[in-house]
Amino acid sequence: MKKTMTYSEGIKEGMSIRMREDPNVVLFGEDVGRFGGCFGVSAGMFEEFGPDRVRDTPISESAIIGCAVGASSTGLRPIAEIMMMDFLTVAMDQMCNNAAKLRFMTGGKLHFPMVIRTAGGAGVNAAAQHSQSLEAWVTHVPGLKMVFPSNAQDALGLMLSSIDDENPVVYEEHKAMLAMESEVDMDMGPIPLGKGNIVRPGKDVTIVAVGKMVHEALAAAAELEKEGIEAEIIDPRTLYPFDMDMVANSIDKTHKAIVVSEEVRRGGYMGEISAQIAENFFDALDAPVKRIGALNTPVPFSPALESQYLPNAADIVKAVKAQG
Amino acid sequence: MAGKKETIRDLYTTMRRIREFETCASNLFAEGKIPGFVHLYLGEEAIATGVCANLKGDDYITSTHRGHGHIIAKGGDTKFMMAELFGKATGYCRGKGGSMHIADGSRGIIGANGIVGAGQSISTGVGLTILLHKTDQVCVCFFGDGSTNQATFHESLNLASIWNLPIVFVCENNGYGISLPQSKHQKVKDVADRAPAYGIPGVVVDGNDVFAVSEAAAEAIKRAREGKGPTLVECKTYRQHGHFEGDPAIYKPKEEQEAWLKKDPVKRMVKYMLEEADFTQAEVDAVDKAAQDELKEAIKFAEDSPYPAPETGVEDVYDDIVEEVRDR
Amino acid sequence: MAIGIIANPASGKDIRRLVSSATTIDNYEKVNIVERIVKAVIALSNEKIYFMPDSFMIGFTVIDDLKISGEDVSNLEVLQMPMSGSMYDTVYAAEIMEQLEVGCIIVLGGDGTSRAAAKGLKRKTPLLSVSTGTNNVYPRLVEGTVVGMAATALTHMDDVSKCCIKDKRIEIYVNGVMKDIALIDATVSADDYIGARAIWEAKKIRAIVASRCHPASIGFSAIPGAMTIIKDTDDIGVCVIPSENGTSVMAAIAAGTLEKMTLGDPVIMKLNEPLELTFDEKCMIALDGEREVKVRPGEKIEFKITKEGPYRVLVRETIEEAQRLGFFRTKDK
C-alpha cells in the first residue's frame, strides 16, 4: 500500500509500529508526551500508548541518555529523544562513555539496544545552539551507529531498523524537513542499516549527500542535466555503518566524487568519507574528491547570514564544474 | 537463634572476602602484576555487605570505579574478577574493562563505571525497566561523596523522584573526592541533607557498622519494593588507602587516618562476633582461612589464564560488526 | 554570665526518616536557628557565648555569617576541645561549659542530645533544650529568637528557681552497676546490636520505663501515656510490660506512626525505689529512643527514677519573669 506522508509522520509511524508490537519499546524525552514533542513528531502517541510508555522527562539531557542506557541493559528498548542535536553535548558523557562503550568494556556482558532521536540541521533561523549538524562527533565514537533519513520512506524504514538493532543508534532527523511530504510504500518494512540508496542514477559524477543535502544535490543535478552532465546521487542513509561499496561502484563508473553535508566543513564526517575514497579508490579518480559543507563558523541567526552559511545546490553545481 | 548466627557469619564472610580481595589487589599492584589504575574499597566493606545482604539475585546494582566490594557482595566470582584485574582473557570483561568496569548481567550487576556519577543516571533506566515490568525488584545505586557534586546526581535523584522509581541511592561518604576532603568540596556535611530537595527521604548511618547499614538498607529497599519510591542512604565511612593504589595520600591527616582505623569495620565485626555473638576464635579463623584460600585460587586462576588474543580486541564493539584488526 | 550552645549536627537524620514520617532538619537550618539565638543575645546584652565545636562547624559558620552582616562577634567563641564525632562531644562540651560557669546551656537536637548534655552536667547549670525534629519529648519546639531572649534573661537573674525545674531521670543498673541514664524513657527491645540505633518495631518491645508519660507525646513514653498520665512534676515513674491478656492501646511511637500494643497494668515506680527485671533473651535498652545498653540473658536490670536529672529551663516562665523584672525595658528612649 502506498501513502503520502510527511518525514515527521514517517518517524512517528516507525516508532508506533514497533510500540504496537513490543511492549518493551518506550519513548521518553522532553515534552514528547501530551505536548507531542517540540516539533510535534510524537503527536498522538501519548494518547495511543499512555503515560507509562510515552514519558515526559525533566530537562535533564544527561539523565535522559543515562536512563536509556540503564533501561536498554535490563530489557527495555528505549527511544530517547534529545530535542535538539546541540543538546547532545550536554549528554555527551552518557552517550560516548556509557552507551557507546559499555558493551565493549564489559566484554559483551551487557548490551544496549537503544535509539537516540535528535533534531539536527539549520535553516529555521534558530541560531548556533539549536541548528548544528554534529555527525562527526557522533560517528567518531566506536560503539555508536548513526542514521540520517532524507525522506519519509527512509524515516520509517530506518526507525524500524534502529529499534530492532542491538546497539545504540543515533537517529538524526532534520528539523527543516519534518513537513516535507513524500510517497511511502507501507509494505517495504525495515531498511537495513548500512545500506545506501541511489537517489538518482547518473554516469558523470558521484555526489554523496545526506539529510537535507540530498535535496540540494537533486536540485543541482537538475541544473547539471541541462548542460548534459548526469550526476549520480547516493544517499548513504546510514553514516555508520557506511555503504562504501555503493560509493565505490559508482566511482568506478563516474571517476569523480563530491561529498556534501551540512556540517561545518572542518573536521566533518564527510571529510572522513572523502579520505576513505582518496585512500582506496585513488586510481579510479580523474579529479580530487571535493568536500562541500557549511562555513567554519557557528550557525548565524539572521536569515541573510544563515543562507550564506549553508551549502546549497549552486555550490554543488560549481564544484562539479570545477572538477571539469 | 541458629539462623541468626548464620546470618552474622554470612555478613562477616562477605566482609572478609572483600578485605582479602582488596588486600591481595593492593599487594599485586605493588608487585607490578596488576596494570592500570586500581581503586580499593578497603575500610568500606560494611556498606556493600550490609546493603547487598538485603538484595535478591534478580535485583540490580550499579557500581563505581571503587567497585570490587559491590561486585563481591552481589555475588560476583572473585576468580573472574581477579583475572579481569590482570587483563586476562578469562576475566569478566575478556580483559577489556579492567578493575573499573566489571559487570555481570546474570547477577544484576549493571557494571562498575569509571565516570564519577555515571551509574546514577544508569540506575534511573534500570528503575524504569522494573517499573514497566511491574516486578518487585529494586536497583541499588552506589556512589561516593565526590559524585554528589556531579550534575548526574541531581538529575538522577530528581528523575527517580518524579517517576517514583524503585531505587536506593547509597552514598558511601568516605570523606574524600580524590584528594579533596569533603569539607573542601561541598558545604553540606551530610549528603543526606540533599534528599529533601528532591522530595525523598534521606538518612545517615554509620557506614562502618554492617548492622546499621543493613537495617537502613532493609527499610529503604522495602520502600522501593512497595512502590514508595527512591531513598538516599548516606553511609559515613573512610577510604583507608589513597584514591588509587600508588597514591601516597599525603593529604590525609595522620590522626584522622588513625582514628578511622580504630573504627575499622572488619575488626569491629570480629569483636562483635567474639564478644556478643558467641563465636569462637576458631570459627572466625575458619572464615578467614576460607577467604584466603579462595583468593589464592583466584590469583592462581588469573596468573594461569592467557592474555586475550589480538583479534578479540576488535570484537564486542557492536553486536554485529567486527572492526578491522591491525595488520602486523 | 556566659551562655553555652550545643548544636548537634547529627540529629534529625537517622533511620526514623525511613521508618516513620520524621522531619529531616538539614545543618544549614540548624545554623539559621543558632544565628537567631545569638542575634537575640547580642541585641539584649551581648553575653559571652561558647559554642561546642562540631564537624559541620556550626559555631564557626554562625560567627562568620554574623561578622559579614556587621554584628559584634567579639564575645563569640568556639570551645577548643578534642572531638570524637560521637555523642561524647556533647557530654564533654556540657561538662566544660559547666566548669566555665555559664548561666545556661542551650541544647539543639533531639531527646538523645539532651540526654548526652545531661550526662555531662554535675551541678545546677540550667539546661534549655530546643527541639530540631519531630520525635522529641524532652526538648521543646521554641523559636530561636525567644530561646536567645530567655537564655540572656536567665543569666541576669539572681534567683532562677521560678524559671527552672529539677527533672527526674531514669538510672539503669545492670548487675548492680549503673550503666547509663535516660531522661524520658528506657525501652527494652529484643535486639542484639546497636545497628541503626533507633527502635521502631513494637513487636520487639519487652518493657518500657518512663519518667513521665502522656498520650500526646511522640515516642515510647506515649505507650504508658495511653493508659496513665505522669507529669514532669510528679515524683513517680511508670513501667509497662507487654502482656497478651492485657489492655490494648494505640500510641504514637514515632512521628506519623501509631502502633497497637497490648500491655499489662502500668506499675507505678516511686522515687529512688529500683524496679528489677530480667529477660531470657539478648536485649538492648534504648535510652530516649536510641539503642545503647546491651543486656545478656539472665542479667539483672534495675531501673530507678531519681530527681538527679538536669535543671531544666521553662522558657515561657523565664520570659514572663524577665518581663516582670523589667528586663526588656530600655534606658534610652
Q: Is B215 on the interface with C (CB under 8 A)?
A: yes
> What's the CATH architecture for A197-323?
3-Layer(aba) Sandwich (3.40)
CATH 3.40.50.970 domain range(s) in chain A: 2-185
- Which of B96, B111, B321 is facing A110, going by the closest CB pair? B111
Chain A CB contacts of B110 under 8 Å are 70, 73-74, 110
Alpha helices for chain B (secondary structure H)? 2-30, 45-52, 68-73, 78-86, 118-133, 151-162, 182-185, 210-225, 254-262, 265-276, 281-304
* Test mutation, C8, C14, C16, C18, chain B, max B CBs within 10 A: C18
Distance from CA of B267 to the nearest CA of A (A): 34
Chain B CB contacts of C57 under 8 Å are 183
> What's the CA gap between B250 and B256, in Å, rounded?
12
pLDDT attached to residue C331: 78
Q: Is B47 on the interface with C (CB under 8 A)?
A: no
The alpha carbon torsion through A83, A86, A90, A91 (nearest 10 deg) reads 60
Q: Which residue from B minimizes the CA distance to A80?
A: B125
Q: Phi and psi of B33, rounded to 5°?
A: -85, -20
Chain A CB contacts of B132 under 8 Å are 23-24, 26, 52-53, 76
Contacts of A153 (CB under 8 A, 6+ apart): A10, A182, A183, A184, A185, A188, A191
Q: Are B252 and B179 in contact (CB under 8 A)?
A: no
pLDDT greater than 80 at residue B3: no
Q: Which residue from C minimizes the CA distance to B260?
A: C84
- Which of B187, B214, B231 is facing C18, going by the closest CB pair? B231
Cβ contact A105–B317 (<8 Å):
no
> What's the CA gap between A101 and A168, in Å, rounded?
10
Distance from CA of B161 to the nearest CA of A (A): 11
In a domain, C331, yes or no: no
Q: What's the CATH code of the domain at C254?
A: 2.60.200.30
In a domain, C329, yes or no: no
Burial C65-81 (b: 16+ CB within 10 A, else e): bbeeeebebebbebbee
pLDDT attached to residue A107: 95
Do B and C make contact, counting contact as 3+ CB pairs within 8 angstroms? yes
Residues C153 and C259 in one domain: no
* Mean pLDDT on A133-157: 98
How are the residues of chain B apportioned to helix, strand and coil, as percentages rounded to the nearest 5?
50, 10, 40
Domain locations in chain B?
2-314
What CATH class does A2-185 carry?
Answer: alpha beta
* Mean pLDDT on C319-324: 95
- Pick the range with the lowest mean pLDDT from A7-16, B40-49, B162-171, C128-137: C128-137
Distance of CA A154 to CAs A8, A11, A121, A186, C107, Å?
11, 9, 17, 11, 71
Residue range(s) defining the domain that contains residue C230:
169-306
Arithmetic mean of pLDDT over chain A: 97
Nine-digit cell at B74? 552481589
Distance from CA of A62 to the nearest CA of B (A): 7
Confidence of residue C28 (pLDDT cuts 50, 70, 90): confident
Cβ contact A70–B317 (<8 Å):
no
Q: How many domains does chain C have?
A: 2
Distance from CA of A235 to the nearest CA of B (A): 21
Provide the angle, in degrees to the nearest 10, between the axes of the packed helices A152-164 and A7-21: 30
Chain C CB contacts of B196 under 8 Å are 24, 26
pLDDT attached to residue B1: 37
Query: Dihedral sign, CA of B226, B229, B235, B240?
Result: positive
Q: Are B73 and B102 in contact (CB under 8 A)?
A: no
Tens of pLDDT, residue by residue over A33-81, are: 999 999 999 999 999 999 999 999 999 999 999 999 999 999 999 999 9
Tens of pLDDT, residue by residue over A159-178, are: 999 999 999 999 999 999 99
What CATH class does B2-314 carry?
Answer: alpha beta
Arithmetic mean of pLDDT over chain C: 93
Residue ranges of B 141-180 with Cβ closer than 8 A to chain C:
none
CATH 3.40.50.920 domain range(s) in chain A: 197-323
* Mean pLDDT on A180-206: 97
Element (H, E) at A125: none
Model ipTM? 0.95
> What's the CA gap between A28 and A10, in Å, rounded?
18
Residues C254 and C162 in one domain: no
Q: Which member of A111, A130, A140, A215 is catalytic?
A: A130
Higher pLDDT, C332 or A4: A4
List, as one string, the DSSP characters of C144-165: HHHHHHHHHHHHT-S--TTTEE
Instruction: Count, in order, helices (H) and strands (E) of chain B.
Output: 11, 7
Nine-digit cell at A80? 530517547
What chains are in contact with C, requiring at least 3 Cβ pairs below 8 Å?
B
Between chain A and chain B, the number of residue pairs with CB atoms below 8 A apart is: 157
pLDDT greater than 60 at residue B152: yes
Confidence of residue C287 (pLDDT cuts 50, 70, 90): very high
- Which of B204, B272, B277 is facing C13, going by the closest CB pair? B204
pLDDT greater than 50 at residue B2: no
Q: Are C73 and C63 in contact (CB under 8 A)?
A: yes
Residues C153 and C13 in one domain: yes
- DSSP secondary-structure letter at A246? H
Cβ contact A109–B103 (<8 Å):
yes
Residues C189 and C155 in one domain: no
Query: Dihedral sign, CA of C118, C122, C125, C126?
Result: positive
* Mean pLDDT on C191-202: 87
Chain A CB contacts of B163 under 8 Å are 55
pLDDT greater than 90 at residue A7: yes
Tens of pLDDT, residue by residue over A89-110, are: 999 999 999 999 999 999 999 9
In a domain, C254, yes or no: yes
- Which of C18, C197, C294 is facing B201, going by the closest CB pair? C18
Higher pLDDT, C320 or C22: C320
Kindly report whether the peptide bond that precedes residue A241 is cis, defined as omega within 30 degrees of 0.
yes
Residue A130 annotated in active site = yes
pLDDT greater than 80 at residue A129: yes
Arithmetic mean of pLDDT over chain B: 96
pLDDT greater than 90 at residue C200: no
What chains are in contact with B, requiring at least 3 Cβ pairs below 8 Å?
A, C
> What's the CA gap between A214 and A124, in Å, rounded?
18
Residues C49 and C155 in one domain: yes
Distance from CA of C282 to the nearest CA of B (A): 9
Q: Which of A261, A202, A198, A260 is nearest to A231 (CA)?
A: A202
